[in-house]
Amino acid sequence: MVDVIIRKTQGLSGTICAPPSKSYTQRMLIASALATGTSKLSNPLLSEDTEATLRAIKALGAKVVSSENCWIVTGEKPLTNAKQPIDCGESGATFRFMIPIAALAAGSSTLMFRGSLERRPIEPLIESLKKLGGKTHIAQVNNVDAVFVEGGGITGGKTSIPGDISSQFISGLMLACPMAKKKTEIIIETPLESADYVKMTKDVLSKYHIQVDLSEDFESIQIPNNQIYEPCDCKVPGDFSSAAFLLAAAALTNSKVKINNLDYRSVQGDKRILGILKQMGVNGAVCEDSVEIKETGGSLEPLKIDAKNIPDLVPVCAALACYANGTSQIVGARRLRLKESDRLSSLYFELQKMGVDIIMDSNGLTIKGGGVLHGAVVDPHNDHRIAMACSVAALGAQGETTILNAECVRKSYPKFFTHLREIGADIVGGKFDW
């Protein structure tokens, strides 16, 4: 376990290349594993979560050759069942995506998840998959939560699933059901949240020539059967959800920073961070493949956001709100209680330690900005986004802030502290590069 010390910093400057998107990397890996032939993934993200996805597709027969900044993936058709339990680590996306994928294999597989299934629920996906002919049940392997998947293929047909627990349920079915024996219809029982992640899955599928039809109101999905994944040479785009922390760091320290490898045309809901910063009075410029934050010269305006479709931006928005000239409100965030930590509680307790006037309710946070923050010892609750949010807040706080167990950033952004240091942040420790 590694602790990182962050001191108050002013005048950040420089240019950083945004890390590749974790979400795109995971989806492209799975699609490549299902393709008949060899696919090339350029600029993939190497992190704990993408390592989990790599382990999973290899366990089901895919061949992966790694070279500098590129993965060559040869799909296996049909998929082979995993000879040993698949370790999905603490990657909820890997776990939820791979359960339907494992159902396509000829034999049975077991997938293990390190973490609480009470916090990262899986039952709605299992029930939905059963209606499509996928036989699965929850089990335990050596006191670790696991799901047993019988395999033998997916029949298809009609199923339903809630849309307000995790969009990953829906993406997992979208990845697997094109190979079902019959056409699949998915009815989304409740209003879909994080809809942009479903759009991202559809975007990746289209690159592999897979057809999925989403209704305009996101109430149903039609998936033709017996489709064939075609190999694809893809470049993983930069990740707006990770880059948001660097953009916020520049904004609250009144600095000038440029982030390359960010394409605003990308299907990523978290690019909304640019609109949020603009509403807060931050000067910026969006170019073809980069975003630049310029010195604002004034205080930040308070924000009011509905986080229903951008839950991953809540931690960074909370950090920004600490320095706004007024009271900010974040609503529509109840699903954050089901993330790596209860993120609403984690933000509430850790930002309070730094002197932030913050109120939590069941659906969000109210933060009164303009106060003086001070250094504290922060416990990120093994949650990468809490660690990064508190690190950003620490840049404007008096004294030193210690982030305990800071290695949790390896889940999505291993170079986070390295990148912050490169643009001038006063940081001790935190080199977690692979």
pLDDT band at residue 143 under the 50/70/90 scheme = confident
Length of the chain: 434
| Pair (108, 153) in one structural domain | yes
DSSP string over 245-302: HHHHHHHHTT-EEEEES--TTSS-GGGGHHHHHHHTT-EEEE-SSEEEEE---SPBPP
Residue 135, token pair as written in the block? 């036989």
| Pair (213, 319) in one structural domain | no
How confident is the model at residue 10, as a pLDDT? Answer: 86
| Pair (215, 245) in one structural domain | no
Residues involved in catalysis: 312
Closest CA to 103 of 64, 60, 63: 60
b/e per residue 72-103 (b: at least 16 CB within 10 A): ebbbbbebbbbeebbbbbbbbbbbbbbbbbbb
Residue 119 is classified by DSSP as: T
Closest CA to 243 of 203, 270, 281: 270
How confident is the model at residue 26, as a pLDDT? Answer: 98
Last residue in a domain, options 226, 252, 274: 226
How confident is the model at residue 118, as a pLDDT? Answer: 63
How confident is the model at residue 114, as a pLDDT? Answer: 83
Give me the CATH number covering residue 165: 3.65.10.10
pLDDT higher than threshold 70 for residue 360: yes
CB atoms inside a 10 Å sphere around CB 148 = 18
pLDDT band at residue 288 under the 50/70/90 scheme = confident
| Pair (385, 416) in one structural domain | yes
b/e per residue 286-296 (b: at least 16 CB within 10 A): eeeebbbbbeb
Per the domain annotation, does 232 fall within a domain? Answer: no
| Pair (15, 63) in one structural domain | no
Give 66's strand partners.
71
User: pTM of this prediction?
Assistant: 0.95
Last residue in a domain, options 168, 197, 226: 226
Domain hosting 354: range is 4-19+238-428
More confident residue, 77 or 385: 385
The whole-angstrom separation of Cα 269 and Cα 2 is 32
| Pair (111, 208) in one structural domain | yes
CB atoms inside a 10 Å sphere around CB 18 = 25
How confident is the model at residue 30, as a pLDDT? Answer: 98
Per the domain annotation, does 267 fall within a domain? Answer: yes
pLDDT band at residue 142 under the 50/70/90 scheme = confident
| Pair (175, 264) in one structural domain | no
Mean pLDDT of the chain: 94
| Pair (283, 389) in one structural domain | yes
pLDDT band at residue 67 under the 50/70/90 scheme = confident
Residue 121, token pair as written in the block? 């629920």
Last residue in a domain, options 169, 192, 226: 226
How confident is the model at residue 226, as a pLDDT? Answer: 96
Give the number of domains in the chain: 2
| Pair (249, 200) in one structural domain | no
> pLDDT of 6-62, one tens digit each?
999 988 999 999 999 999 999 999 999 999 999 999 999 999 999 999 999 999 999
